[in-house]
């Protein structure tokens, strides 16, 4: 299982006492050029002006998806829903599995897990 949270990518192997979590920071820029590892397109950027962020947070849209990654601040590595549905503007943790992505909103009794099918071009 792959989990991205707080600017880290974690791979989780096994369960229970045999569980192993391996984490590492995801690169944000190449050392030679200082440029981001994302590509740009001629497509207009999503309007993110109505998204309320916490102090020190910045977001970048994720190409081809209706969410943006929080790239700085205390929730760095989490994502913000930018679709126009009922979860618009809410932060979530992205969990990628073989056939589906899971968007996990909230914690404890307020936790909500939303399953999204993986697109063919995501692989």
CA distances from 114 to 52, 87, 100, 119 (A): 21, 10, 10, 15
First to last CA, the chain: 15
pLDDT digits over 66-94, tens only? 899 999 998 999 999 998 888 999 999 99
pLDDT grade, residue 112 (50/70/90)? very high
The Cα 108–Cα 104 span in angstroms is 11
The predicted model scores a pTM of: 0.61
State the chain's mean pLDDT as an integer.
76
Q: What percent of the chain has pLDDT over 70?
A: 59
Entry field: residues in the chain: 123
Q: What are the tokens at 19?
A: 């569980």
Residue 52, number of CB atoms within 10 A of its CB: 7
Q: Residue 25: pLDDT above 80? A: no
């Amino acid at each position: 299982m792959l989990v991205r949270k707080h600017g880290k990518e974690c791979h989780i192997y096994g369960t229970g006492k045999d569980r192993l979590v391996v984490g590492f920071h995801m690169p944000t820029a190449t050392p030679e050029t200082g440029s981001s590892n994302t590509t740009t397109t001629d497509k207009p950027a999503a309007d993110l002006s109505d998204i309320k962020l916490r102090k020190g947070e910045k977001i970048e849209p994720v190409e081809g998806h209706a969410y943006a990654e929080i790239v700085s601040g205390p929730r760095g590595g989490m994502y913000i829903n930018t679709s126009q549905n009922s979860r618009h503007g809410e932060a979530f943790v992205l969990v990628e599995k073989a056939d589906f992505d899971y968007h996990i909103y909230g914690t404890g009794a307020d936790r909500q897990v939303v399953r999204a099918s993986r697109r063919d071009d995501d692989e």
